[in-house]
Structure 1
Amino acid sequence: MIPYGKQDISQQDIEAVIEVLQSDFLTQGPNVPAFENALTSNVGAKHALAMNSATSALHAACLALGLGKGDRLWTTPVTFVASANAGLYCGAKIDFVDIDPETYNMCPKQLEKKLIEAQLKGTLPKVLVPVHLCGQSCDMRAIQHLCMEYDVKIIEDASHAIGGSYLGGPIGNCAYSDITVFSFHPVKIVTTGEGGAALTNDDQLAEKMALYRGHGITRDQNMMTEPSHGSWYYQQIELGYNYRMTDIQAALGISQMHRLSEFVSKRHQIALRYNVLLEGLPVEVPFQLDDTYSGLHLYVIRLKLDDIQRSHKHIFEGLREKGIGVNVHYIPVHLQPHYSAMGFQLGDFPESEKYYSEAISLPMYPNLSEDDQDRVIEVLTSLLVSK
C-alpha cells in the first residue's frame, strides 16, 4: 500500500531521541524550550508553547482568548473536527463559514456576509478559526481586516502549514492573528510523534497558554496570592490541563526542524510532477493563491464527476483496492452526527459539501518515489478513462 502520508525519520532523528532516553530528562527537560526556540526562530513569532497535540493547543488558545459559555466560535466546515471541538470544550456555540471553491479555504466574501448578518442579530463570534487547508494560507489580510472591524479574535489553524508563507512572511508569525497553531502528527510536515504548538506575539496570551498547558500551576512569585513557602512551593491559580510536550517528542521535533525546508521543497517537486501527470484527465488540481507558498501537507484533486460518469466512491475504492492509500480531507464538520444534533443539516454550506463530494487526497510525502507516483497516476487514469 502506498500511503497518503508518511513520516520521514532519519538516523539523526533516531539519535536525537536516543540521547534523551539516555539523559536525566524524559518529560520536562531542556529540549522542550529548545524546540520552542526553533519554532520562533523559524517563523518569527515572539512566543511558542509546545503541547502534546494541536487539539490541546487549539483548546489552550481558545481559553487564553477568554472563550466561554455563551460565546461563539466560527470556523470552516472543511477541517478536522478539532478546529470546532476546541470551542465546544469551552462551552461556546459553533458555526461555520463556507469555503472558497478555488482555494478550499474559508471564503472572505462569505465571512463578510455572515458577519453583517450576525451583527444585526447580535450573534457575532468572539473567535474565528480559519484553517490553512492542505498547507496553503487563507487570505489572512482580508480575514484580519474583517475581524478588526467586528472585534473578533483570530486563531490560525495552521496544522497543515508549517514551512509555508503568506505575503512574503512565514506562516506562524501571527502578523494577521492573535495565535497560530501547528500540528506535529506523524503525517504532518514535521513530526514529534504526536504534538502541537501555539504561537503568539502577545506576552499575556503566552502566559495564559503556559498556565493552561500545565495544570494552571505557577512557580512565579509575582503571580501567587501569598508569599512563597519555600523553593518547593507552587500554586494552582487556574483550572489547567496536562497538555505538556515531553522532552522525547521535542528532541525529535528539533531534529526534524533542521529539514523543514527540504521537506517542503520535496513536496513542491512532487506536486509539480503531479500537475504534469494529471494534465488531460477529468480532475481539478490544487489552486495556488497569489503571494502564498503552501506547506503542501496534502495534494487534493477534485473529480469532474460529470465527465467521469462514475461516482466519487467508485474512484476512491478503486484506488484503495489497487494499493493506493488515498484519503478524503475532510467530511464537513457540520454533517457529523454530533453537529447535526445541534441543528446543522445538508445544504447549509453548499461549497463545502460539493468539495466533499469530489475531493480525493493523493499520496504526498517527501520520500514518495517517482515510481510510486507513476503507479498512483496509472491506477487513477485506468479508473477515470475506462469504459
Structure 2
Amino acid sequence: MATNFIPYGRQTIDQDDIDAVVSALTSSHLTQGPKVTAFEQAIANKVKAAHAVAVNSATSALHLACLALGVTQDDWVWTSPNTFIASANCARYCGANVDFVDIDPDTYNLCPKQLANKLAQAKQQNRLPKVVIPVHFAGQSCDMKAIHELSQEYGFYIIEDASHAIGGRYQDSYIGDCRYSDICVFSFHPVKIITTGEGGMATTQSARHAKHMRTHAQQGTSKDAEDLITQPGDWYYEQHTLGFNYRMTELQAALGLSQLNKLDDFIAKRHTAFAYYLETLKKLPITLPAQATDSNSALHLFPILIPKEHKKARKAIFDALRSAGIGTQVHYIPVHTQPYYQDLGFDWGDFPIAEDYYQRTMSLPLFYEITRSEQERVVSILTQALQEHGVLS
C-alpha cells in the first residue's frame, strides 16, 4: 500500500477531543455516568427530538428500535438492498422476515414509487410490513414525507437508518427529529461524520419507545421506582424482560460531545470538498451523485458510476486507484445477494436497479481533513485510469 494512502473516509481528532476523553478517563465513572446522559441530551437538542438513547453501535440501536416497535417472529420488515447488512439483520435478530424495496436510480435511496407498488401487492397477499427501514444513503435523506404518507395508508412503523446522516437536513430540519418516523438511528463509527470510536444513538419523540430501548440496552433491568414490584432498598433492581448489554461508555460519550461541537463545521467542509469533485469531474464520462432539492446531505460518501457499457472495467479501475494509493471503496454489495439472504430465497435479479448500481459504483475519498492537493491527485489518477481502461477516449 502506498505510504501516502488516501482513505475513502477517516475520523478527525483534535486536542479538544483528546482532552475530553482524558478527562472522562480520570473521572469517577468510566461507564454509566453523566457524560452519556449529557451526550444523549445534546443530540436530542441538536435534532429537536424529545428523547435520545446512546448505545455501543448503530447496529444495536437498530435492533433496539425493532424491539421497541414490537417486531417479532412472522412479522415483515422491509428495507433497502443498497445498505450495509445491519439494516436488514436487525429484523432477523427479532425473528422477523425481511424483504427489500428497490432504489431510486438518481439518489440511490429506497424509492417511494417502488414502495407504493410493493405495498399494494403485499396488501392483496395479506403480507404488509410491520416496519419499513429507509436508509439515508451517503448522508442524503430519503423522501420521508412520501414514505410517511404511505405508512399512514398501510399502517407500518418507520425506522430511519440515518447511520450516514448525522448533521444532514430534510425540509430544513435536522434528520433525527422523527417528524416522519417513529425512531431514527445514527452511527458514530470512525468513517462517519462524527465519531465515538464505535457507538450509535436512537432518537424518538415517543417516551414509551425511548424507555423500551433504554431498558433493553441495560440487560432488561430497571431501578426506576415506577417499574419495581418491591423496593427493599437503593441497591435494588428488577429484570422484567430479556435485554442486552448495549451500553455506551463515558469515554465514548465524552468524545461524542466534543465531536458534536464541530458537527456543522465538519458538514460545511465536506460540502466544499464535494463541490470541488462535482466541478472537476463533470466532464468525465461518469455519473456523479445527485442531490435532492428538499434535503441538505451530510455527504458521508461520494459515489460515482461507471457507464453501463463499461461496467466490466469497474474492477480494473478500482484496482488502479487502490494501487496508486487512492482508497476507493464500493458501497454497497446488495444485501439480498449475500449468501445468508440467498439461503432465505433471494437471488440476483430480484432488485435490478440496486444490482446495476452496485456493478458500476465506487466511492471516492471524502472526509473533513481531505486537502485540495489530495483531491487533485484523486481526480488525476481516476482520469488516467478511465483512459487506460477505455472509458475515456
TM tier, smaller = over 0.9
2:349 corresponds in structure 1 to 347
Residue type at the aligned position of 1:128: V
Secondary structure of the structure 1 residue equivalent to 2:108: coil
Matched, 1:127 2:123: no
Deviations 1:186-206 (A, max 9, x none): 000000000000000001001
Normalization by structure 1: what TM-score? 0.98
Question: How large is the Cα RMSD of the aligned pairs?
Answer: 0.8
- Aligned-residue offset at 1:310: 5.5
Residue type at the aligned position of 2:166: I
Contact persistence 1:132–1:159 (CA under 8 A): yes
1:233 corresponds in structure 2 to 236
CA gap 1:313/1:213 in 2 versus in 1, 3 angstroms? same
Matched, 1:249 2:238: no
2:336 corresponds in structure 1 to 334
Contact persistence 1:160–1:188 (CA under 8 A): yes
Matched, 1:288 2:291: yes
Secondary structure of the structure 2 residue equivalent to 1:284: coil
What is the distance in 2 between the residues matched to 1:212 and 1:299? 36
1:146 corresponds in structure 2 to 150
Matched, 1:63 2:67: yes
- Aligned-residue offset at 1:311: 1.3
What is the distance in 2 between the residues matched to 1:310 and 1:102? 21
What is the distance in 2 between the residues matched to 1:116 and 1:222? 43
- After superposition, residues 1-387 of structure 1 pair within 5 angstroms as 1-224=5-228, 226-306=229-309, 308=310, 311-386=313-388
Contact persistence 2:311–2:360 (CA under 8 A): no
Deviations 1:140-177 (A, max 9, x none): 00000001110000000000001110011110000000
- Aligned-residue offset at 1:305: 4.0
Residue type at the aligned position of 1:270: A
Contact persistence 1:305–1:311 (CA under 8 A): no
Residue type at the aligned position of 1:165: R
What is the distance in 2 between the residues matched to 1:367 and 1:101? 30
What is the distance in 1 between the residues matched to 2:67 and 2:385? 47
Deviation above 3 Å: which 4+ runs of structure 1? Answer: none
Deviations 1:343-377 (A, max 9, x none): 10110000000000111110010000111101101
What is the distance in 1 between the residues matched to 2:224 and 2:271? 45
Contact persistence 2:311–2:359 (CA under 8 A): no
CA gap 1:310/1:119 in 2 versus in 1, 3 angstroms? closer
CA gap 1:309/1:237 in 2 versus in 1, 3 angstroms? closer
Secondary structure of the structure 2 residue equivalent to 1:163: coil
- Aligned-residue offset at 1:45: 0.4
Q: Which runs of 5+ in 1 are unaligned?
A: none
- Aligned-residue offset at 1:304: 1.3
Count of matched residue positions in the alignment of Structure 1 and Structure 2: 385
What is the distance in 2 between the residues matched to 1:347 and 1:110? 15
Deviations 1:227-277 (A, max 9, x none): 211111000011100000000000000000000000000000000000011
Identity rate, percent: 53
Residue type at the aligned position of 1:341: D
Deviations 1:295-324 (A, max 9, x none): 001111111142x58511111111101110
What is the distance in 1 between the residues matched to 2:295 and 2:162? 14
Residue type at the aligned position of 2:338: Q
What is the distance in 2 between the residues matched to 1:229 and 1:222? 14
Secondary structure of the structure 1 residue equivalent to 2:160: strand
What is the distance in 2 between the residues matched to 1:164 and 1:85? 25
What is the distance in 2 between the residues matched to 1:300 and 1:122? 37
Secondary structure of the structure 1 residue equivalent to 2:186: strand
Residue type at the aligned position of 1:357: Q
What is the distance in 2 between the residues matched to 1:281 and 1:273? 14
What is the distance in 1 between the residues matched to 2:227 and 2:42? 28
Secondary structure of the structure 2 residue equivalent to 1:159: coil
Residue type at the aligned position of 2:150: L
Q: Which runs of 5+ in 2 are unaligned?
A: none
